[in-house]
Amino acid sequence: MNFETPNKPEETIEAKKERLRPVIEWAIDQYDNHAEKSLEEIAVEATRKFKGKIQTIPDLVILETDDDGVNLAGIRNGEPTASATMLWTELLDLKKMEDVRKEKK
């Protein structure tokens, strides 16, 4: 017997912003106000749908958000690399890297 998964309604941009707000606010606060912490301590993992494929990108720093999306930078040698905006339409999820590391243990 074949079972079909019902299509879940697509999450609205506003609902996505609200769901991800706690991680975004934490990450921006850490970056702006806690210079004593390494970037690795305040990094996030982003999951996005890009060109039809799901990609998970670890070790990113959230610099800011705007109407278009989340401005992220990678980390190289403890410093932020060039930044880019991940659009709200492609962003699926954000997690604190510390939580991701705990899940893998």
Write down the domain spans for the chain: 13-97
pLDDT for the residue 103: 87
Specify the 3-state DSSP secondary structure of 22.
helix
State residue 1's pLDDT score.
45
The pLDDT value recorded for residue 8 is 65
Count other C-beta atoms under 10 Å from residue 57's C-beta: 14
Predicted pLDDT at 62: 97
Query: For residue 55, what pLDDT is reported?
Result: 96
Compute the distance between CA of residue 57 and CA of residue 71 in angstroms, rounded to an integer. Answer: 14
Residues paired with 80 in a beta bridge: 75
Return the DSSP state at 68: S
Q: What is the CATH number of domain 13-97?
A: 2.30.30
Q: What is the pLDDT of residue 91?
A: 97
Per-residue pLDDT in tens (0 to 9) along the chain, 105 residues: 444 555 667 899 999 999 999 999 999 999 999 999 999 999 999 999 999 999 999 999 999 999 999 999 999 999 999 999 999 999 999 999 999 988 887
pLDDT at 7: 61
Give the C-alpha separation, 12 to 38, whole Å: 34
Q: What are phi and psi of 74, to 5 degrees?
A: -75, 175
